[in-house]
Copies of this chain bind each other. A is one copy, B any other.
Amino acid sequence: MSKRKIRMGMVGGGRGAFIGGVHRMAAALDGQVELVCGAFSSNPERSRLSGEDFYLPTERVYGSYAEMIEKEKQLPLGERMDFVSIVTPNHVHYGPAKMALQNGFHVVCDKPLCFNMEEAEELVALVEETGLIFALTHNYTGYPMVKQARAMIEAGELGDIRKVVVEYPQGWLSTKLEDTEQKQADWRTDPSRSGIAGAMGDIGTHAENLAEYITGLEITELCADLTAFVPGRQLDDDGNVLLRFNNGAKGILHASQISAGEENDLNIRVYGTKGGFHWRQMEPNTLLVKWLDKPVEVRRTGVGDLYPTATAHTRIPAGHPEGYLEAFANIYRNFAHCVQARLAGETPDPLLMDFPGVKDGLRGMKFIEKVVASSNSKEKWTKF
């Protein structure tokens, strides 16, 4: 069977949304995914208008994810959607993910995975049972220089890892933005839609995922101090965490949405016995590699000897900056490749079998749970 584009049905992401557009661009970039249907909003009229924006036929713009999954399932295999992309607020991840899996559709889901540990464990079990392909868009691990960093550590270039500092400062919630019309602020600060954590759930989980992905280590204990600085805010907008890892390494994780003037400055420094590195999401094509007594090396996308995984996640030559959407697209490209291989009965390229999945989602939910518990505890260390 010859390959074809993979067909995507989207849940959420209608007019006014942010992350839905990101998913659509990321899916489109490499020409491997086609948007064929969607339930873009809980408001049917908004869903319909959104469908027009994307040039979809009216009959494939649905009023709800349930309707979409049911109706699509009835279409012939060569026509119906291959997977569901879930881009709703946190409290509407679990429902469509579960239903999609139960009906044989692969899933791409925005992070965090869901609302609590119970849901998370159920989804993990479902993915195992069904054998379907599940991608969670911890997109920051899609950058080529993150792949390079991970490969360097895996190959032992930095020696034994001793210290990890991962930071995710933003400033956009420095004021009570949720009291304005701002849709993104609104649900993120609302426990009924966001869950038990604010900044820690929204961006702290990215930091946790990045730290574990890049080092190959696991956090075993943590000590957290979360704060809701903006008066009247119900969820944390800042958190500082001490970390301990399974190999004895120590670390710091802090995430904040009240770091006034910061944009989206996710960054990580890792130090081992032989060397260290610094990677910053806002200048993602650069990886500063530091050595005990040699000059710092500026490793750059597309320059010199990089690990195959870095090269496999780069599209254009050195000095032509790739950004957030390209990293995000790497998840879709890899996911699409695996779905295509599945359809074709082939083995996927191992370099492309690399995207965050449901277990990363479970770990993220656990991180949220533990970090909130630790912050409320007088005990110094909370097991992870």
Contacts from A to B (Cβ < 8 Å): 2-5, 18, 21-22, 24-25, 28-31, 35, 52, 54-55, 158, 162-163, 165, 167, 169-172, 174-175, 223, 225, 227, 229, 238, 240, 242, 244, 250-252, 254, 256, 258-265, 269, 271-276, 281-284, 288-300, 302-305, 315-326, 377-381
Contacts and interface: CB of A to CB of B under 8 A. Distances in A.
Contacts of A273: 174, 260
21 contacts: A18-B316, A25-B31, A28-B30, A29-B325, A163-B238, A170-B319, A171-B292, A240-B250, A240-B251, A260-B271, A261-B275, A262-B271, A263-B318, A288-B298, A295-B300, A295-B303, A315-B325, A320-B323, A322-B324, A377-B380, A378-B379
Contact of A276 (B4, B22, B171, B377): B171
Contact of A297 (B5, B31, B175, B296): B296
A260 B272 contact: yes
A294 to B, nearest CB: 5
A294 B304 contact: yes
Contacts of A295: 289, 297-300, 303-304
A291 B327 CA distance: 27
Copies in the complex: 4
Query: Is chain A's binding surface mostly helix, strand, loop or mixed?
Result: loop
A380 B252 contact: no
Contacts of A380: 223, 377-380
A222 to B, nearest CB: 11
Contacts of A282: 319, 321
A275 to B, nearest CB: 5
Given A22-B316, A31-B35, A223-B225, 13 more contacts: A162-B258, A165-B167, A165-B254, A174-B271, A240-B252, A260-B290, A260-B291, A263-B303, A263-B319, A284-B321, A295-B299, A295-B304, A320-B324
A242 B300 CA distance: 32
Nearest to A170: B319
Contacts of A379: 378, 380
Contacts of A296: 261, 297-298, 300
B274 A290 contact: no
Contacts of A265: 319
Contacts of A252: 240, 252, 254
B324 A321 contact: yes
A24 B229 CA distance: 46
Contacts of A325: 29, 315-316, 322, 325-326
A116 to B, nearest CB: 25
A171 B304 CA distance: 13
A290 B271 contact: no
Nearest to A227: B250
Contacts of A275: 260-261
Given A264-B318, A292-B175, A271 B258 contact: yes
Nearest to A288: B298
From A3, A22, A292, residue with most partner B Cβ within 10 Å? A292
Contacts of A171: 271, 276, 290, 292
Q: Which 5 A-B pairs have the closest CB atoms?
A: A261-B290, A264-B319, A263-B319, A321-B323, A323-B323
Nearest to A54: B31
Give the interface centre of A175, A272, A276, A288 by most chain B CB atoms within 10 Å: A276
A22 B18 CA distance: 25
